[in-house]
Amino acid sequence: MPTECTNCHDSIIHDEDSIVCSTCTSVFHFFCAGYNENAFKKLSNNSKMRFVCNKCKTIGSGNKSKLPDKINDENVISKKKLEELITSVNFMGNQFDDFSIPKTVNENWCDIVQVIAKKSNSNIMIKSAYRIHSSDNKTNIIVAELETSDMRKDFLSKVKSLRLNANMIHNSWSTASKIYVNERLTKNRRTLFSKTRLACKEKWYKYVWVNNAEILVKKDDGEKTLRIKSDKDINKL
């Protein structure tokens, strides 16, 4: 059974793509630990063995300061949460997901993403691309990381105007298989987005979308745009 990444909670398919915290022994995808593919490959085994995750770094810093005051303790916790949030947002910032792309033998994920970019008249530079599987083992997802967030933003803007299907990528694939390209979200945000779409469908909301990891909805043209941060916001729709 694949190991689960402590940060994004997706399965770690290949052990060589993971790194273990030397303090708490939590396991991470190398990209969830803040490394790009090239930097991770250059790490020595000794450096990997000394790796300490952000959570343990923050806790260690808190222990060294030995703050007895409750307010200071709460500040340490808030700082830790903020650092974890910033790390997550910064890392996910240049990434996006391609959903429902058929899996083939010896496939080249970068080539697949480049074909989609060409269809949308986008010029992109790919830092890395890989395929992951959802927890239901049904949805195959290709994740790609581009060089800059502006590049990703331009690409997503152009590709969303297309009605992509698998046949547009490879002529032997079915036109009935729709391809969806979205911003890369953490597992919790993906779950919230799924709940939001379901609720909006039931309540006849016309628009549901994601912009810079924020989930947004609009009842109809001319209506106010609402931001969905939690289940409580969904219940207010």
Amino acid occupying residue 157:
S
17 secondary structure, DSSP code? G
Q: Do residues 210 and 182 make contact, with C-beta atoms less than 8 angstroms apart?
A: yes
Which pLDDT belongs to residue 141? 79
pLDDT at 90: 35
pLDDT of residue 100: 66
Q: What is the pLDDT of residue 34?
A: 85
Domain 94-184 sits in CATH at: 3.30.70.330
| 3-state SS, residue 166 | helix
- CA R_g for the chain: 20
Amino acid identity of residue 89, one-letter, is V
Tokens of 101: 């792309």
51 bridge partner residues: none
User: Taking the domain 3-92, which CATH number applies?
Assistant: 3.30.40.10
CA angle 122–125–131, rounded 5-degree value: 95
pLDDT in tens, 120-156: 898 988 888 888 765 555 556 788 888 888 888 888 8
Rounded distance between C-alpha atoms, residue 86 and residue 231, angstroms: 22
Helix then strand count (H, E) for the chain reads 8, 11
**Which pLDDT value is given to residue 67?**
46
Look up the pTM and report it. 0.52
First to last CA, the chain: 39
- The runs of H, that is alpha helices, within the chain are 37-42, 45-49, 54-65, 70-92, 109-119, 149-159, 187-202, 231-235
For the chain, list residues with pLDDT below 50: 67, 70-71, 77, 81-92
What is residue 203's predicted lDDT score, i.e. its pLDDT? 93
> Using CA atoms, how far apart are residues 39 and 30, in angstroms rounded to an integer?
10
What pLDDT score was predicted for residue 65?
52
Q: Where are the domains of the chain?
A: 3-92, 94-184, 186-237
For tokens 């022994």, name the residue.
25
Is there a contact between 99 and 141 (Cβ–Cβ < 8 Å)? yes
For residues 130 and 11, give the distance between their C-alpha atoms in angstroms, rounded to a whole number. 13
